[in-house]
Every structure is written in structure tokens, then in C-alpha cells.
């Protein structure tokens, strides 16, 4: 039996795609996964190109695999994901020992491509965008724990000036509503309790129903909430641009939807937001949050930030810090702006020194970490509903689970609790980690 080794970098979409690849090759094509690259017949790299460093990492990794191929020339190396989509032929030029280049939308063609390479010993590339085809051709998501990610849409039409996603993943396309609901029902039957709806822009979801009508994101959320067995619903990532009142109303009506929202604002300066082509203002963002707090007073908000965007002055950065205080974010993923070839921002004049950008990132992260700590401390003594995921990685005498606001809680309990919701009293708090006690 041939062995495959998959290395995955980047966002949750990539993680999801790698699971699809594994299912496809194991179930339909008789390959077996190995965790040891030295033992593999096929090495697959699922790549990310969101920032420069992620992209460079790909060629370092391929260099390592080249050594394995030098020893055993029958090894097949396949490169997929966003770097494959963006670079295409260039990968063959820079690493001529690569056999297959596939894109995020053509992963289901991998078995056929592998067969062709084995037969003809010629390299092959397919980075086209046959929309939704991969979902029709891959086996259903397998249960891997009590919480599951489900891709509901792909791609992005927003073309923020700094971002490669619209070019690498293609335009927005939504999966049919019934396919998603069927998949979630199957997972619920297998014991999954929490669903995380996945997409580059989930709130742009517009899936077809069985009778040809359009189902919008708010409606999809309500339908998922009706599925027996699913008791917690999350989604990643949404965009402030289409965060309409009908979605806010779901927060009002549907307790299964968590009181925790990742809504990337990117900057607190309207000038920078405009240069980023984000198509909303800080005021509009704040209004969304105010409406959410109105229907869910305990909601916590996290965000992504880009610091050192071309033209970001000290004053603009200060506006971001002020905005962080205003919204009182719970958490963030924050990055220094990374120049991405082919994007409009890469043509803009960028004269802030890198040392200054690093300083700004440090200040921003320090600021948000303090807020995370304060939010965690507020939880001390409270009762939290925890979905128990398994034995704690740090201490085998303890169990570990997650709160609604995504904090990991460890506690002493019985293994029978795994896969169930358990109310716990929070006894100790660290920034991201809590200790709890059964009540």
C-alpha cells in the first residue's frame, strides 16, 4: 500500500482541504497516511501565500524533500494551496523535482494526476477553478472530535488592496444549503456537538436551496441551529461589510450561536481603511458592535489587525490603539503588512521603517494581551458551559475543553464527560487558559 504524507500551512480552509485530500486518497484510492515523511511515496505540501514569509517557507520545505527524492527517485512531490495557485509554472522552474501542482479548487483531481505521473513520469499542473466540483467529488467530512469545521463557501470578491485571496482562491461561491445541512446532520449523528462554519467571507453566503431559492447566511445559521445534537455554532471568518441586521437578529434569537465573534477590522484609521479598500468606516464597524451588544450584552469580539500598511502614520496607528480601547477587543491576530506581488497595495509608497513597524506591532499586541487577561479575569468564579474535548495534553489526570468564548479549561473529571457539555466553576485564570471545577 502506498503511503502519503501531507504537510499543511495556513488558514482553516487549508486544514479542511487537507482532510478532504486524506479522505479521498485513503477511502477511494487505497493510500495510507504516514506521519513520517521519510516513509512516504507521495509528499504533499498544502501551502499558504497570505504573507511573504509563508510563501518563502514553501521553497525551504521543498528543498528538504528534494534530498529524500535524491535518495529515492520514485517519490512523487505534489504542491497545492494558494502558493501553487499563485505561482503555477514558476514552482516547476524554481523546484524542477516537483511532480504535481494543484490548486485549492482542483484537489479532487489529485488521484487522477497521481496516476498520470506514475504512468508517464511527466510533471503535471492543474490550478483551474472548477467551482464547487471538489465538494461533489470528495467523501464527506469524517468525524474528528466533537467539534467540526464545515466549509460553506469559498473565495472572495472583496479585493482588499493588500490581499491575495481573491486571486488564489477565486471568486465567492457558496455550497448548496441542503448539502451543508445534510453533512452537519451526519456529523451530529456521529456525536459532533459543535459546528464551525468556514469560509473566507461566510456572511456573503448565498447558497441555493433544493427548490432553487437563495438561502442567505442568517437563514443558514437558523437552519443549522435546528439540527438536533448540534448545541454550539461558530463561524470564521466574517466581514464587517455584509454584517447585516438579519445576522444580528440571529444573535438575538438563537442561543446556540456563541457570544463570541471574530470580525476583522484591520485598522482603526478611516484613511487606512480606505487605502485598504475595506469599504466600511470605523463608525460603521462600531455600530455593528453596538447592535450586537444590544441583543447579546455579554458578547466578546476579536479581530485581525495589519500594522505598518503603506501610508500608516504614527497618528493613524494611535487611532488603531484608541479604537481597540473603544471596542474593548478580547483577542486579535495581528501582523505586519506584507508586500504581496500583484496586489494594488504593493504599488503604494511605503516608507515606514521595518523597525518602526515592529515597534507598533509589539505595542498593539501588548495592548490586546492585557485586554485578553482582563476578559479572562472577569470569568473567575463564573459558571461556564464547557464542551469537553478529551484528556488534557499537559496533564493526563485532567480533562480539557472549551468555553463559549474559546478559552481552554482544564479540570478533574471523568472520561465519561468527553464529548459532552459540562458546567464548570472557573477557579483560576491565565491569559488564554483557565482551570475549572465540577459544580
Contacting residues toward ligand F3S, per CB under 6 A: 156, 158-160, 163, 165-166, 200-201, 239
- From the list ligand F3S, ligand SAH, none, which binds 407 (C-beta under 5 to 8 Å, kind-based)? none
Q: For the sheet with 300-307, list strands across it.
A: 260-262, 300-307, 331-336
Does residue 239 touch ligand SAH according to CB under 6 A?
A: yes
H or E element: which one contains 132? Answer: none
Helix, strand, coil percentages (3-state) for the chain, rounded to 5, are 40, 25, 35
Applying CB under 6 A, which of residues 237, 403, 410, 429 lies at the interface with ligand SAH?
237
**Minimum distance from residue 158 beta carbon to ligand F3S (Å):** 4
> Residue 414 forms beta bridges with which residues?
none
Q: What are phi and psi of 340, to 5 degrees?
A: -115, 115
Burial level of 396, CB count in 10 A (0-12/13-18/19+)?
exposed
Does residue 320 touch ligand SAH according to CB under 6 A?
A: no
Does residue 169 touch ligand SAH according to CB under 6 A?
A: no
Measured from the CB atom, the residue of 155 and 413 that comes closer to ligand F3S is 155
Measured from the CB atom, the residue of 85 and 201 that comes closer to ligand F3S is 201
**Minimum distance from residue 169 beta carbon to ligand SAH (Å):** 10
**Minimum distance from residue 303 beta carbon to ligand SAH (Å):** 8
Applying CB under 6 A, which of residues 329, 337, 375, 411 lies at the interface with ligand SAH?
337
**Minimum distance from residue 328 beta carbon to ligand SAH (Å):** 19
Find how far residue 109's CA is from the centre of its chain. Answer: 23
Measured distance between the N- and C-terminal CA atoms of the chain, rounded to whole angstroms: 50
Stretch that binds ligand SAH, among 69-77, 158-166, 374-382, 395-403 (CB under 6 A): 158-166
**Minimum distance from residue 161 beta carbon to ligand F3S (Å):** 9
Q: Distance (Å, rounded) from C-alpha 148 to C-alpha 401?
A: 14
Measured from the CB atom, the residue of 266 and 282 that comes closer to ligand SAH is 266
H or E element: which one contains 306? Answer: strand 300-307
How many other C-beta atoms can be found within 10 angstroms of the C-beta atom of residue 27? 13
**Minimum distance from residue 335 beta carbon to ligand SAH (Å):** 4
Beta-strand pair 32-33/42-47: unpaired
Which positions lie near ligand SAH, rule CB under 6 A? 50-51, 162-163, 165, 200-201, 237, 239, 264, 266, 304, 306, 335, 337-338, 340
Amino acid at each position: 500500500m502506498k503511503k502519503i504524507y501531507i504537510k499543511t500551512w495556513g488558514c482553516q480552509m487549508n486544514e479542511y482541504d487537507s482532510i478532504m485530500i486524506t479522505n479521498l486518497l485513503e477511502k477511494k484510492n487505497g493510500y495510507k497516511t504516514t506521519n513520517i515523511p521519510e516513509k512516504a511515496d507521495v509528499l504533499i505540501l498544502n501551502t499558504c501565500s497570505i504573507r511573504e514569509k509563508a510563501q518563502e517557507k514553501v521553497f525551504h520545505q521543498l528543498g528538504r524533500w528534494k534530498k529524500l527524492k535524491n535518495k529515492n527517485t520514485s517519490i512523487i512531490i505534489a504542491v497545492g494551496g494558494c502558493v501553487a495557485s499563485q505561482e503555477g509554472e514558476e514552482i516547476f522552474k524554481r523546484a524542477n523535482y516537483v511532480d504535481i501542482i494543484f490548486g485549492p479548487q482542483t484537489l479532487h483531481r489529485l488521484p487522477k494526476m497521481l496516476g498520470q505521473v506514475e504512468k508517464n513520469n511527466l510533471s503535471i499542473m492543474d490550478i483551474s477553478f472548477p467551482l464547487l466540483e471538489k465538494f461533489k467529488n470528495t467523501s464527506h467530512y469524517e468525524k474528528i472530535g466533537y467539534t467540526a469545521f464545515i466549509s460553506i463557501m469559498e473565495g472572495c470578491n472583496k479585493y482588499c488592496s493588500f490581499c491575495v485571496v481573491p486571486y488564489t482562491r477565486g471568486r465567492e461561491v457558496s455550497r448548496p444549503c441542503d448539502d451543508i445541512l445534510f453533512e452537519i446532520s451526519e456529523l451530529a449523528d456521529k456525536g459532533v456537538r459543535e459546528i464551525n462554519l468556514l469560509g473566507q467571507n461566510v456572511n456573503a453566503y448565498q447558497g441555493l436551496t433544493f427548490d432553487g431559492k437563495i438561502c442567505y447566511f442568517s437563514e443558514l445559521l437558523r437552519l443549522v441551529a435546528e439540527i438536533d445534537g448540534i448545541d454550539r455554532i461558530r463561524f470564521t471568518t466574517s466581514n464587517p461589510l455584509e454584517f447585516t441586521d438579519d445576522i444580528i437578529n440571529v444573535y438575538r434569537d438563537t442561543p446556540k450561536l456563541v457570544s463570541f465573534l471574530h470580525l476583522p477590522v484591520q485598522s482603526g484609521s478611516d484613511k487606512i481603511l480606505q487605502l485598504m479598500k475595506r469599504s466600511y468606516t470605523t463608525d460603521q464597524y462600531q455600530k455593528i458592535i453596538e447592535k450586537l451588544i444590544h441583543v447579546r450584552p455579554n458578547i466578546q469580539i476579536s479581530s485581525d489587525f495589519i500594522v505598518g500598511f503603506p501610508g500608516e502614520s504614527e497618528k493613524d496607528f494611535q487611532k488603531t490603539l484608541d479604537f481597540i480601547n473603544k471596542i474593548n477587543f478580547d483577542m486579535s491576530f495581528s501582523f505586519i503588512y506584507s508586500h504581496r506581488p500583484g496586489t494594488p497595495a504593493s504599488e503604494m509608497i511605503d516608507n515606514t521603517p521595518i523597525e518602526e513597524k515592529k515597534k507598533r506591532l509589539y505595542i498593539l499586541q501588548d495592548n490586546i494581551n492585557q485586554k485578553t487577561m482582563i476578559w479572562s479575569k472577569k470569568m473567575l468564579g463564573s459558571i461556564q458551559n464547557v464542551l469537553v474535548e478529551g484528556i488534557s495534553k499537559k496533564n493526563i489526570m485532567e480533562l480539557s475543553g472549551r468555553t463559549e468564548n474559546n478559552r481552554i479549561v482544564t479540570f478533574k473529571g471523568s472520561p465519561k464527560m468527553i464529548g459532552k457539555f459540562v458546567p464548570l466553576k472557573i477557579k483560576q485564570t491565565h491569559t488564554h487558559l483557565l482551570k475549572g471545577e465540577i459544580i
